């Protein structure tokens, strides 16, 4: 067996334990020729929303045919489904808990199955607490090695895939109302308001009862000053030059963000 397909990994396992290496070892036991790339393993524990954003943000930069194995799974061992989803650019493998909703907003799924066939699991009786090792990593490796999606389990309706209950963006003649969808390692606040909604307007951000200056980049404001701009990911972002905007504003995922447009 010799297949150079990419497997991209995203988890909340951290790097201080052996869990990530176990995932990679499981994949290598099935096909040692696969190219494994880490997206991130420091998703805040059990934070599906953060995993959703990071996977969505990384997805456009991988080659066609990539298999994305993503595990942020607070309901592991419960009745939540394990799924594999086919998209135009590759496959998504992991728990059906909303983790894939961001990617699916960019790239419509073409098929999905529930992972019920133990022939492609690492063991027929998987651990109740480590489906990442015993189901998802193994399934991902088989898919990347050429296995057909249909071999993994019965088809499921695409409309039945779980969506994460994020606030929808509301647009009026004078305002855009959104929310915080992610906070990165620097304390930068990423909203769910896209560049296309503001690019043809003069706009300003209000969050936590503060109006934030708009600029093109951090360096246009003084140290310790808040600023809003379009981030490299294409979303309206709020940052603090040299410090954490989240700590300054004391906000969290899901909190409201308002933009005035004119």
* Residue of 228, 218, 163, 167 whose CA lies nearest to 192: 167
How far apart are alpha carbons 258 and 210 in whole angstroms?
A: 10
C-beta of residue 67 within 8 angstroms of C-beta of residue 103: no
Distance CA 22, CA 17 (A): 10
C-beta atoms surrounding 4 within 10 Å? 10
> pLDDT tens track of the chain, all 262 residues?
445 699 999 999 999 999 999 999 999 999 999 999 999 999 999 999 999 999 999 999 999 999 999 999 999 989 999 999 999 999 999 999 999 999 999 999 999 999 999 999 999 999 999 999 999 999 999 999 999 999 999 999 999 999 988 788 999 999 999 999 999 999 999 999 999 999 888 999 999 999 999 999 888 999 999 999 999 999 999 999 999 999 999 999 999 999 999 7
C-alpha pair distances (Å), 230 with each of 1, 13, 77, 198, 239: 45, 30, 40, 9, 11
Beta-carbon count within 10 A of 185 CB = 8
- Residue 165: the pLDDT is 80
Q: Say what the pTM is.
A: 0.92
The radius of gyration of the chain's CA atoms, rounded to the nearest angstrom, is: 20
Instruction: Determine phi and psi for 79, rounding to 5 degrees.
Output: -85, 0
Residue with tokens 């040692």: 32
Q: Which residues contact 15 (CB under 8 A, 6 or more apart)?
A: 41, 42
Bridge partners (DSSP) of residue 86 are 91, 111
In 10 A of CB 109, how many CB atoms? 17
For the chain, domains (ranges, CATH) are 6-160 (3.40.50.10790), 170-261 (2.40.30.90)
């Amino acid at each position: 067996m010799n297949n150079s397909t990419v497997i991209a990994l995203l988890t909340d396992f951290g790097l201080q334990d052996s869990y990530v290496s176990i995932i990679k070892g499981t994949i290598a036991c099935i096909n040692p020729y696969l190219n494994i790339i880490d997206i991130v393993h420091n998703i805040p524990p059990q934070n599906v929303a953060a995993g959703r954003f990071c996977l969505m943000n990384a997805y456009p930069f991988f080659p066609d045919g990539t298999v994305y194995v993503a595990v942020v799974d607070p309901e592991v061992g419960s009745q939540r489904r394990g799924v594999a989803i086919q998209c135009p650019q590759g496959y998504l493998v992991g728990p059906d808990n909303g983790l894939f909703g961001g990617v699916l907003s960019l790239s419509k799924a073409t098929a999905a199955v529930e992972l019920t066939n133990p022939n492609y699991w690492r063991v027929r009786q998987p651990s109740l607490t480590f489906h990442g090792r015993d189901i998802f990593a193994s399934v991902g490796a088989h898919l990347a090695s050429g296995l057909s999606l249909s071999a993994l389990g019965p088809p499921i309706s695409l409309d039945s895939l779980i969506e994460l209950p994020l606030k929808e963006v509301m647009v009026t003649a004078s305002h855009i109302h959104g929310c915080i969808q992610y906070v990165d390692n620097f304390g930068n606040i990423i909203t769910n308001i896209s560049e296309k909604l503001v690019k043809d307007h003069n706009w300003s951000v209000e969050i936590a009862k503060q109006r934030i200056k708009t600029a093109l980049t951090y360096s246009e404001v003084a140290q310790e000053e808040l600023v809003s701009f379009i981030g490299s990911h294409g979303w309206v972002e709020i940052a603090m030059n040299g410090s954490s905007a989240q700590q300054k504003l004391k906000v969290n995922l899901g909190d409201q963000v308002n933009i005035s447009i004119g």
